[in-house]
Amino acid sequence: MQFPTNGRISDRKECTLLLDIENLSEFAREAVGNSRHSEKVYINGFPWKILAQIKTKNGRTKNGSTDNEKWFGFFFSFDTTKKDSHWRCCVRSATFRIISHRKEAENSNGTFCDRVFDNKSTGWGFEKFLSFAELLDPRNGFYSGEDYKVTLAIDVILQDEKNEKFSLNQSESKGKLFMDIEKVSEFAREIKGSERKSKIVHIKGFPWKLWTKIEKKNERADNEKWLGIYLLYDGPNEDNNLSCKCSTTFRIVSQKSDVPDFRRELSEERTFNSKSNNWGFPNFISFTELMDASKGFHDKSEDKVTLAIDVTVKEAKTAEKS
């Protein structure tokens, strides 16, 4: 499928989108819902933009008043008005960055992995990437000079789908999923909702991934971050007639021979299909405990943590379509 190309073009499956927002302080005073967007960039023939939008939590304070603090929403958007249901694009990863203008300050990062975009799902991102209070704090170094310019970036890698096709050819009832989180200390500094996913593993013909993401127990800005871990069924959305039941054991693999793996089991059986596709622990372990050298989970020399899920499929079936 071809899209009209009237923007910047990249023939590669990797590209960085950039957006400069001038007069950030003025943008922050605009109404909720107002937005800015980048120029259109074509990546492997698909048109994309950065979308920045003013959001609010609309929560309640302790005294009952409305908390209307403004937040900075940051999105990756497929940009076309073409009404065609036959296109599909898989994004392996997209890393969102607010670029620091001070060498000693860190960028603000967030990542999502393995998302499918089509005519029904044309955007993804973070509604509350950063509060405007934090964005405008000069100590954080996110804007430059008196012009209050902020620079946004999204590093995009499109998926090569040739090894990701759904298959029902394998019959094993047990399997293991593994994933190394590289540069885990950097991942720990990313925002809530940032995620990583493993490659697909087929168990009894069903496609699975290990999915981990940064979670918090509540919305308090100073609340401790937790590692969430989930078993993700990664079958086609249209195959609602496929389902299976399985039991699982989630593990953080110990890096020390004298320290056992950290593990939690879900002994009850769970039914998976395209409408109910993940199961796990949103607060599996705190990052404080995960990075504690005495626990033996963090390989400090390689800055790596290894996650695993042991899966037993108890029942699998294909229901007749009506």
* Residue range 100-156, pLDDT digits in tens: 877 655 566 788 777 778 777 888 888 889 899 989 888 888 887 777 899 999 999
Structural domain contains residue 2: no
Q: Considering its fold, how many domains does the chain have in total?
A: 2
**Does residue 185 share a domain with residue 130?**
no
Whole-model pTM? 0.61
Structural domain contains residue 1: no
Tell me how crowded residue 27 is: count the other CB atoms within 10 A of its CB: 20
List the 262-272 sheet strands across, edge first.
Answer: 174-182, 304-318, 242-252, 262-272
Of 139, 161, 183, which residue is a domain's last?
161
* Residue range 243-266, pLDDT digits in tens: 777 889 999 999 888 889 999 998
* Residue range 168-214, pLDDT digits in tens: 334 447 888 999 999 999 999 998 889 999 988 877 777 889 999 99
Of 128, 143, 161, which residue is a domain's last?
161
Residue 64 pLDDT: 44
What is the amino acid identity at position 146? E
Structural domain contains residue 3: no
**Does residue 31 share a domain with residue 155?**
yes
Residue 303, classified by CB atoms within 10 Å of its CB into exposed (0-12), middle (13-18) or buried (19+), is middle
**Does residue 287 share a domain with residue 173?**
yes
Residue 307 pLDDT: 94
**Does residue 182 share a domain with residue 150?**
no
DSSP secondary-structure letter at 279?
E
Residue 296 pLDDT: 92
Distance CA 312, CA 173 (A): 6
Mean residue pLDDT of the chain comes to: 80
Token pair 């127990």: residue: 217
Token couple for 270: 């769970």
Residue 237 pLDDT: 59
What's the domain range around 130? 8-161
Contact indicator for 133, 69 with CB cutoff of 8 Å: yes
Residue 212, classified by CB atoms within 10 Å of its CB into exposed (0-12), middle (13-18) or buried (19+), is buried
DSSP secondary-structure letter at 303?
T
CATH code for the domain in which residue 95 is found: 2.60.210.10
